[in-house]
Structure 1
Amino acid sequence: RGAVRAAGGWTDLVVTPERGVRAVDGLLTGLHEPEASHLLMLEAVAGRAAVRLGYAQALARLCLWHEFGDVHLLLKEDNRHGTHC
């Protein structure tokens, strides 16, 4: 794989679990509705199981969609925490 280099311009690339990510180890994100396309990007970073577990925990704790302070950390799937992140 080539090195990641800064560049300018637009892209039509869409981050999905199938495409994967190369330069992201984790991200902080708010909660989005379960049908949101944003979840595909989260699954590309953390894996489907971790995202589903995180959302189940958030719902159990009455976290709200798009609310300030309701945020979670997702780590890359091969991270040592696996689906327990």
Structure 2
Amino acid sequence: VRAARGWTDLVVTPERGVRVVDGLLTGLHEPEASHLLMLEAVAGRPAVERAYDEALRGLYLWHEFGDVHLLLREEGPHAANCCGNSR
């Protein structure tokens, strides 16, 4: 990893994968939000689904007025899915 400057149109998805991120703090978003693809790229779909199921059971709040949760990378690395920083 090298620090750099500039702009990217990179979209983090489960298919693209991630190489450096082990987890992230995030708010809760609507089920159809594209943000969930990034969460799935880090933690995997099962972990995201469990987090959202628990949030619904616990009556967590959503968006700017809501709660924050920590998602950690799933056990198996996503390196096989990661195509690097190039297109």
Which TM-score applies when normalising by structure 2?
A: 0.82
- The equivalent of 1:11 in structure 2 is 8
Aligned to 2:42: 45
Unaligned runs of 5+ in 2: 77-87
Between the aligned partners of 1:7 and 1:77, the Cα distance in structure 2 is: 28
State how far apart, in whole Å, the 2-side matches of 1:67 and 1:6 are: 30
Aligned-partner SS, 1:29: strand
Deviation >3 Å, runs of 4+: none
Match of 1:31 in 2: 28
How many pairs are equivalent?
Answer: 76
Aligned-pair identity in percent equals: 82
| Relative contact order higher in (CA < 8 Å, ≥ 6 apart) | 2
Structure 1 length normalisation: TM-score?
0.84
Over aligned residue pairs, what C-alpha RMSD do you find? 1.3
Query: Among 39, 60, 65, which residue is 2:62 paired with?
Result: 65
Q: What residue ranges of structure 1 are gaps of 5+ in the alignment?
A: 80-85
Q: 1:50 is paired with a residue of what secondary structure?
A: helix
CA distance in structure 1 between the partners assigned to 2:30 and 2:66 by the alignment: 16
Could you say what secondary structure the match of 2:63 adopts? coil
